[in-house]
Homo-oligomer: A and B are copies of this chain.
């Protein structure tokens, strides 16, 4: 596996691959790899001749009071994991490479960045759209793999790719969960043992909603279902819902009736310290 930090080198490598007619898969990450990340990389390796993984903790997608400074990092461990499964290039651009002095361009995917996580993280999705556009231009992939865990991000990247005419196939990969159902996340690291137990309320809410909608004939009135899910979250110690929403799977607009094919998305604060998200197709 090659380690690349600068734009010129990555451009040269992908140009050489292109010349040989090789296809390129891409997995953008912020590091601290868990099984979820590795599943995305394996998907890319399976589908493309070459796989580039980027590792860049993008400051523009963190708000002023978020966890940018504490975001977990271990390049050594991440490198070993990526190399172990057969990634071709680990691209770890510096801050100066990505945002040199005078940098001033911002990309907004207008409707899709507003609701859900966008409501409590107002700069987040502009940061995501902008950095992904830059990375797409640097890596020039044929396919790019994103996790369904960040459902809004995935929907937004699909729209961005279409809107800006990127000739890239966006692949969504199902959420990878721990055995007890907690969705894998780099931020799970922040949880102590008791909190780790309490946050199972997220998965309980998801299982409850799937069952409830599955057993209904014509879906469930959304406000009713949300109230029930809220009581599941609130009954877990230290857990406070940031949002619980049932939305159209493409436009992410709220539905009046929660029915099959809709998406339940939720975000929960744990002891006012960690914010976790999860989602499911109903």
User: A159 at interface (Cβ–Cβ under 8 A)?
Assistant: yes
B-side contacts of A62, CB under 8 Å: none
User: A70 at interface (Cβ–Cβ under 8 A)?
Assistant: no
- Does B108 lie within 8 Å of A112, measured CB to CB? no
Give CA–CA (A163, B165) in the complex, Å: 18
B-side contacts of A104, CB under 8 Å: 109-112, 159, 163
User: A167 at interface (Cβ–Cβ under 8 A)?
Assistant: yes
Complex: chain B residue closest to A7, CB-CB: B165
Which of chain A's residues 147-203 have a Cβ closer than 8 Å to chain B? 159-160, 162-167
CB distance from A82 to the nearest CB of B (A): 22
Chain A: interface size category = 20 to 34
User: A11 at interface (Cβ–Cβ under 8 A)?
Assistant: yes
B-side contacts of A108, CB under 8 Å: 105-108
Which of chain A's residues 79-109 have a Cβ closer than 8 Å to chain B? 100, 102-109
User: A218 at interface (Cβ–Cβ under 8 A)?
Assistant: no
Give CA–CA (A144, B160) in the complex, Å: 23
User: A209 at interface (Cβ–Cβ under 8 A)?
Assistant: no
B-side contacts of A18, CB under 8 Å: 18
Stretch at the interface among A39-47, A133-141, A255-263: A133-141
- Does B164 lie within 8 Å of A137, measured CB to CB? yes
Give CA–CA (A100, B236) in the complex, Å: 45
Residues of A within 8 A of B (CB): 7, 11, 18, 100, 102-112, 129, 133-134, 137-138, 159-160, 162-167, 251
- Give 9 A-B contacts (CB < 8 Å), ordered by A residue: A7-B165, A18-B18, A100-B162, A105-B109, A105-B129, A105-B159, A106-B107, A107-B108, A133-B164
